[in-house]
Amino acid sequence: MCGIVGYIGPRDCVPIIMEGLAQVEYRGYDSAGIAVVTKKGNLEVHKKKGKLRDLRDVLPKRLTGKPGIGHTRWATHGVPSDANAHPHTNTAQTVAVVHNGIVENANELRAKLEAEGIVFTSETDTEVLAHLIGRARAAGHDLQDAVRLVLSEVEGAYGLAIVDATQPDRIIAARKGSPVVIGVGEKEMFIASDVSALIRHTKQVVHLDDGELAVLRADGFETMALDATPIQKKLFAVTWNVDDLDKGGFEHFMRKEIHEQPLAIERALRGRFEERFATTHLGGVNLSAREVLDIRRVKVLGCGSAYYAGIAGAQLIESMTRIPADAEPASEFRYRNPVIERDVLYVAVSQSGETADTIAAVQEVKRKGGLVMCVVNVVGSTMSREAEGIYMHAGPEVSVASTKVFTSMIVSLGLLGLHLGRIKDLGPAEGERIINGFKRLPDDIRRILESEPEIAAIARKFADTSSMFFIGRNAGYPIALEGAQKLKEISYIHAEAYPASELKHGPLALVSPEFPVVAILPDDPLLKKNLSTVQEVRARRGPVIGITQSSTAADEGLLDHEIRVPKNEPEFDPLLCNIPLQLFAYHLAVARGCDVDQPRNLAKSVTVE
Ligand code: G6P
């Protein structure tokens, strides 16, 4: 989704902003732009549809100045085009605005401005803000007061950065629903929608909360509410390293992140076992044992891959606690006006901690007095400040398609399951067995990663396929969902997941020699039934790729291709089956020449509802 970067300080802002924009590229975008206050005191704006290199091509070499703001846009109002790219300016070309989010009453505000004779140059909702702020400045208000006045008229969501060539000693930032982070440097200040754009310059950051506005000057900043009441903010120290944001010798972030999984799990597990009681200790989970005993149901909420990890995690929690647990798409949750019950534990799962739909779900539970916690990767993110919970410690995930964090989400939900289970009725021997399973996961995954060349060779054979099914039973089903999701996201091959038992109830009609099926076949009590489904596919001459843990399926001659994963404990076997599917999707997408890390139309962090 859109990215914001801004700089004020002694240095030329252009290279800082361009490099910052490159860091937020991964979020997904279709155009980019920059606004700079030049030495002569003019506002110079350049923007271009396409990638950052297209913007670089049109930037005049002489362009220097400060302060400045930049933006990568993911189209919402108006098609991707040069004119719709941000920054947007007022008619006098003094004020420039970059905006993430949606102004919901833009049409109404636009009509009013047009009636006053203002001519718009784009189809965006953001341009309305530029004209309104310009008009308030012309009426004599300071930039921050102009922004405050305008925002009190605005409905919708925003993360904003604003410069004014006639007040070049400040940048104004504001937030409602879309993340904004201030980076605090030595006599220089940064603004961004994402800490990754800042960490090359500073690790000291401040997260704006909804309804807050910040005035950044080279030597400091002040924060206030929209009614100008001052607000004191806490400094956060970012723990990520600059190296985490490099590809580290891999061709794509996705492949690097797939290979980081053993380390990510080791980090998630570090310091979390309390061996004496065969349980876990989770610093952010402050439920008393008595409160845990009162929990009668667990509901996991997430979007996209986080939802699928939520299904897998809920199954783990249910098996360890014998408390009914399920998952629901956070994007749908609030629209059904959910009944929030006192004895339900809601768990929101998110890599970014910024997904607008998941935040809204958390707020819905909180508003109705429910018990909610979160499982989040990005430290200090909005969700992590909304509710207590568990950090995954997976390190930054840059590729739009989630891999290591999907795995870390299941691991973290498993850690929670063990914690709750050992308070409920999971015995110590079972606790120990599960802890040992957790500990074996990194090495099991290393072994799967060693078979990457074989998996890649299988994947390449399917580069011309147009559709595939992914099937799995029970705990294999969320893995099938995620496998299909990975494939469509990055290779644009149509892929659908079904519970294996459902195949015969409709989808089987499509299976043919041109319609391959990926079957998740862990060595569990359902293997026999799974193999019957595979037989049904074979009977229609559908090619089958099996993810297996034993030779049964291959021995029966049922598979065209087999990818074997090690056996762990039954709880973790499905998670292991997912690792080859990540590599399968990756190598298939590479074979098709796709932009693996930045698939078309998608964004890493979806900060609009
Ligand atoms: C977007 C991404 C998905 C991701 C989902 C949830 O749709 O493209 O890959 O799974 O958001 O993101 P979150 O940051 O909440 O885990």
Determine the distance separating the centroid of ligand 1 and the alpha carbon of 401, expressed in angstroms: 8
pLDDT digits 0-9 by tens, 308-355: 999 999 999 999 999 999 999 999 999 999 999 999 999 999 999 999
Determine the distance separating the centroid of ligand 1 and the alpha carbon of 530, expressed in angstroms: 30
Question: What's the rounded mean pLDDT across residues 448-461?
Answer: 98
For residues 485 and 482, give the distance between their C-alpha atoms in angstroms, rounded to a whole number.
5
Contact at 8 Å (CB) between 508 and 536? yes
pLDDT digits 0-9 by tens, 532-581: 999 999 989 999 999 999 888 777 889 999 999 999 999 999 999 999 99
Q: Considering the entire predicted model, what is its pTM?
A: 0.86
187 an active-site residue? no
pLDDT above 70 coverage of the chain, percent? 100
Q: What is the model's pLDDT at position 48?
A: 97
Determine the distance separating the centroid of ligand 1 and the alpha carbon of 396, expressed in angstroms: 13
Determine the distance separating the centroid of ligand 1 and the alpha carbon of 594, expressed in angstroms: 20
Report the SS3 class of residue 244. Answer: helix
User: Which residues, other chains included, contact 525 with Cβ-Cβ below 8 Å and sequence gap of 6+?
Assistant: none
Protein residue with least CA distance to atom 2, ligand 1: 604
Exactly one of 47, 256, 299, 604 is catalytic; name it: 604
pLDDT digits 0-9 by tens, 205-256: 999 999 999 999 999 999 999 999 999 999 988 888 777 778 888 999 999 9
Check residues 19 and 552 and name the one with the higher pLDDT: 19
Protein residue with least CA distance to atom 8, ligand 1: 604
Which stretches of 169-235 are assigned E, i.e. beta strand?
171-176, 181-184, 189-192, 204-207, 212-217, 220-225, 230-231
* Residue found by looking up tokens 């409920």 in the block: 424
Pocket perturbation via mutation, ligand 1, pick of 402, 403, 413 by most ligand atoms within 8 A of CB: 402
Contact at 8 Å (CB) between 567 and 547? no
For residues 18 and 72, give the distance between their C-alpha atoms in angstroms, rounded to a whole number.
10
For residues 18 and 14, give the distance between their C-alpha atoms in angstroms, rounded to a whole number.
6
Determine the distance separating the centroid of ligand 1 and the alpha carbon of 480, expressed in angstroms: 17
Q: What is the model's pLDDT at position 112?
A: 96
DSSP state of 388: -
Q: What is the model's pLDDT at position 56?
A: 96
Q: From 105, 113, 110, 112, select the one nearest 155 (Cα to Cα).
A: 105
Q: What is the model's pLDDT at position 259?
A: 97
Instruction: Say which range, 65-69, 75-79, 110-114, 447-451, has the weakest mean pLDDT.
Output: 75-79
For residues 525 and 421, give the distance between their C-alpha atoms in angstroms, rounded to a whole number.
23
pLDDT of 606 higher than 90: no
DSSP state of 309: H
User: Which residues, other chains included, contact 290 with Cβ-Cβ below 8 Å and sequence gap of 6+?
Assistant: none
Q: What is the model's pLDDT at position 408?
A: 98
Pocket perturbation via mutation, ligand 1, pick of 604, 608, 609 by most ligand atoms within 8 A of CB: 604
Ligand 1, atom nearest to 302 Cα: 15
- Residue 276 pLDDT grade (very low, low, confident, very high; cuts 50, 70, 90): very high
Q: Which two tokens stand for residue 604?
A: 């890493």
Which stretches of 18-136 are assigned E, i.e. beta strand?
31-37, 43-49, 68-73, 88-89, 95-100
What does the buried/exposed string (b/e) look like for 566-575 if buried means 16 or more CB atoms within 10 Å of the residue's CB? eebeebbbbb
pLDDT of 414 higher than 90: yes
Report the SS3 class of residue 597. Answer: coil
pLDDT above 90 coverage of the chain, percent? 86
Write phi, then psi, for 469 (nearest 5 degrees). Answer: -105, 150
Q: Hey, CA dihedral for 97, 101, 105, 111, is it positive or negative? A: positive
Pocket perturbation via mutation, ligand 1, pick of 413, 605, 607, 608 by most ligand atoms within 8 A of CB: 605
Check residues 499 and 248 and name the one with the higher pLDDT: 499
Question: What's the rounded mean pLDDT across residues 463-491?
Answer: 96
pLDDT of 7 higher than 80: yes
Ligand 1, atom nearest to 378 Cα: 14
Q: What is the model's pLDDT at position 82?
A: 96
Q: What is the model's pLDDT at position 553?
A: 76
Is the preceding omega at residue 67 within 30 degrees of 0, hence cis?
yes
2 an active-site residue? yes
Exactly one of 2, 303, 374, 577 is catalytic; name it: 2
Ligand 1, atom nearest to 304 Cα: 10
Contact at 8 Å (CB) between 106 and 155? no
H-assigned helices in 236-355: 253-259, 261-269, 289-294, 305-321, 330-333
Pocket perturbation via mutation, ligand 1, pick of 390, 578, 606 by most ligand atoms within 8 A of CB: 606
pLDDT of 1 higher than 90: no
Give the burial class of 353: count Cβ atoms within 10 A of its Cβ; 0-12 exposed, 13-18 middle, 19 or more buried.
buried
Determine the distance separating the centroid of ligand 1 and the alpha carbon of 355, expressed in angstroms: 7
Q: What is the model's pLDDT at position 554?
A: 77
- Residue 89 pLDDT grade (very low, low, confident, very high; cuts 50, 70, 90): very high
Protein residue with least CA distance to atom 7, ligand 1: 304
Q: What is the mean pLDDT of the chain?
A: 94
Residue list, ligand 1 pocket, CB within 6 Å: 303-306, 350-352, 355, 358, 400, 402, 602-606
Q: State the maximum Cα–Cα separation within the chain, in Å, rounded to a whole number.
A: 82
Determine the distance separating the centroid of ligand 1 and the alpha carbon of 370, expressed in angstroms: 24
Instruction: Say which range, 45-49, 136-140, 397-401, has the weakest mean pLDDT.
Output: 397-401
Ligand 1, atom nearest to 409 Cα: 16
